[in-house]
């Protein structure tokens, strides 16, 4: 943690601070509690089993890592937020009995639960079936709905914070709001931020807005993390992973949303669709509250549907729907094609669905947009459709328009940044029963690239592309410090292309940082290259 507050004076003597944490905790709690053993260790705390001598019961105590430099302001916020969390009364939320600090430690005490975390269960048994995953998901969503109505956000939904009770199978959500208690940027009185570049959470499950360090988060951030956790429950892995936290955060911000049913074909389509909605990049595109997710899961389960027939399977069924033998055994040749009522209904339904999917019919085509920005489809200069980044969309084309269509890039920013990028739609060859076209990062023999800028410097920066050449272009944009994979548009690509970053306080003058020699790393389809300053 980085903060501009003075460190709190440590009440314990240096010799006491050198003592094991268990001994210090025993002194801080007093004679009423016996510290029995260390039962777990996480990213920000150690967990000890306690024995309450007065009430003859087991308790669990989380001791926040002593290395955290607690300040008076942070301790004050910790106590105030703990009071807010005490309002939560829900069977799926593990309550906090009390909090305390002493002997250089900060801790909170909660009931002791015999069981295992969802993270341990996933490591032990692998992914869950859809039905079992939904059984675990529903109590979590109910707990989130209860907390969100009171304005409280968890901020760290992950399998490690879900406990499965051994005897009853009860699902419990742990550490509600603890991430906020640890965040030095939050305050109870609307005061100024006190930290720089500090983000609380677990990167595999962190919403884009949380990764960007937004100070105010709402329940939709929890729903994103819940979607990432549900994805892992049914596939066995988180939706995004990588070799570093920065790489994983970048994927949350820029990579397409993965589809769980593409990883595990047994996942029902309705469940996969619900996960995709939870993982939408923008909060307004997600479910707006936990009750909406519960309703979607209930409707999908009630439908009894296990998913749609795959498009290729459907095409094969349609193409193979030939004549059926007559009762007398005659077929083909001069015999009649006889189709029973039920079979005819199935074939007819298949044809209807195939038309909707773009496998049959006139004026139907699919366009794949390999770029990282959306493109607009034009017919005689009039927009008729928009295709999202790295997506394939089915287009309904006017008759006779296959040769006169065009596309253009929808540039980011307002006003738009980057260079205009447009061109005619390629001819639409028929593949696998569909008309297909593709838009990529090359137009008329000229390649383009999209630099995604990560700013790890101490100041905001502005960017100049291809500096020192006749093609130099200033993005007229600001990339704030801490930003990850910021889009700044597309630019013409040359063998000696380079990108320079300037301090935004003195744009395009004075010291700057260059990033040359990346042309060979540019993705040929999307034009993407990631540059870090």
The sheet carrying 422-424 orders its strands as 382-387, 375-379, 405-409, 422-424
Those residues with Cβ within 8 angstroms of residue 313's Cβ, 6 or more apart along the chain or in another chain:
none
CB 228 within 8 A of CB 203: no
CB 428 within 8 A of CB 395: no
Angle at 160 between CA 156 and CA 161, to 5 degrees: 55
By the 10 Å C-beta count (0-12 exposed, 13-18 middle, 19+ buried), 248 is classed as buried
Separation between Cα atoms, residue 115 and residue 335, nearest integer Å: 69
Which is the catalytic residue, given 52, 101, 156, 385? Answer: 156
Those residues with Cβ within 8 angstroms of residue 449's Cβ, 6 or more apart along the chain or in another chain:
441, 490, 491, 493, 497, 519, 522, 527, 528, 529
Buried b (16+ CB within 10 A) or exposed e, 111-120: ebbebbbbbe
| Both tokens assigned to 124 | 């032990």
3-state secondary structure of 82: helix
Residue linked to tokens 């990028």? 421
CB 419 within 8 A of CB 492: yes
DSSP secondary structure string for all residues of 139-171: HHHHHHHHHHHTT---S--SGGGEEEETTT--E
Backbone torsions φ then ψ of 35, nearest 5 degrees: -85, 110
486: nearest Cα among 412, 398, 428: 412
Q: Where does 170-268 have alpha helices with state H? A: 178-181, 208-211, 219-235, 245-254, 260-263
236: nearest Cα among 84, 327, 123, 361: 123
| Both tokens assigned to 484 | 């990850």
Q: Can 291 be counted among the known catalytic residues?
A: no
526: nearest Cα among 372, 416, 326, 355: 372
The overall longest dimension of the chain from CA atoms, in Å, is 103
Catalytic residues: 156
């Amino acid at each position: 943690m980085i903060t501009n507050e003075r460190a709190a004076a440590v009440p314990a003597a240096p010799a006491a601070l050198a003592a094991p944490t268990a001994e210090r905790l025993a002194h801080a709690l007093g004679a009423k509690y016996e510290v029995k053993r260390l039962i777990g260790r996480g990213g920000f705390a150690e967990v000890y089993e306690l024995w309450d001598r007065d009430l003859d019961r087991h308790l669990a105590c989380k001791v926040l890592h002593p290395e955290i430099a607690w300040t008076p302001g942070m301790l004050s916020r910790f106590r105030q937020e703990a009071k807010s969390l005490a309002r939560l009364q829900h069977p799926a939320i593990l309550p906090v009995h009390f909090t305390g600090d002493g002997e250089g430690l900060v801790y909170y005490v909660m009931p002791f639960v015999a069981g295992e975390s969802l993270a341990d269960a996933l490591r032990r048994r692998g992914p869950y079936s859809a039905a079992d995953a939904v059984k675990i998901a529903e109590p979590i969503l109910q707990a989130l709905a209860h907390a969100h109505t009171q304005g409280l956000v968890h901020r760290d939904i992950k399998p490690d914070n879900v406990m499965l009770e051994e005897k009853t199978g009860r699902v419990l959500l742990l550490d509600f709001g603890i991430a906020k208690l640890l965040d030095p940027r939050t305050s109870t009185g609307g005061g100024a931020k006190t930290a720089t570049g500090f983000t609380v959470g677990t990167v595999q499950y962190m919403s884009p807005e949380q990764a960007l360090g937004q100070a105010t988060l709402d329940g939709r951030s929890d729903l994103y993390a819940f979607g990432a956790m549900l994805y892992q429950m049914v596939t066995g892995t988180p939706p995004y992973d990588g070799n570093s936290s920065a790489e994983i955060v970048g994927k949350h911000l820029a990579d397409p949303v993965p589809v769980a049913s593409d990883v595990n074909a047994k996942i029902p389509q309705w469940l996969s669709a619900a996960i995709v909605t939870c993982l939408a990049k923008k909060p307004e595109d997600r479910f707006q509250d936990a009750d909406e997710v519960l309703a979607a899961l209930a409707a999908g389960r009630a439908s009894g549907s296990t998913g749609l027939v795959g498009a290729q399977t459907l095409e094969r069924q349609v193409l193979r729907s030939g004549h059926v033998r007559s009762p007398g055994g005659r077929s083909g040749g001069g015999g009649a094609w006889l189709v029973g009522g039920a079979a005819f209904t199935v074939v007819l339904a298949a044809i209807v669905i195939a038309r909707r999917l773009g496998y049959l019919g006139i004026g139907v085509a699919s366009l794949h947009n390999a770029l990282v920005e959306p493109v607009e489809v034009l017919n005689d200069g009039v927009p008729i459709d928009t295709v999202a980044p790295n997506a394939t969309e089915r287009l309904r084309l006017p008759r006779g328009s296959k040769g006169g269509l065009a596309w253009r890039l929808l540039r980011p920013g307002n006003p738009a940044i980057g260079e205009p990028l447009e061109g005619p739609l390629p001819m639409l060859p028929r593949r696998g029963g569909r008309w297909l076209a593709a838009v990529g990062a090359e137009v008329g023999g000229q390649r383009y690239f999209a630099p995604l800028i990560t700013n790890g410097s101490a100041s905001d920066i502005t960017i100049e592309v291809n500096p020192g050449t006749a093609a130099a272009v200033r993005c007229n944009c600001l990339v704030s410090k801490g930003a990850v994979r910021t889009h700044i548009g597309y630019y013409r690509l040359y063998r000696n292309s380079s990108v320079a970053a300037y301090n935004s306080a003195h744009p395009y003058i004075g010291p700057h940082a260059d990033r040359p020699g990346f042309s060979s790393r540019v993705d040929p389809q999307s034009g993407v290259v990631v540059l870090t300053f």
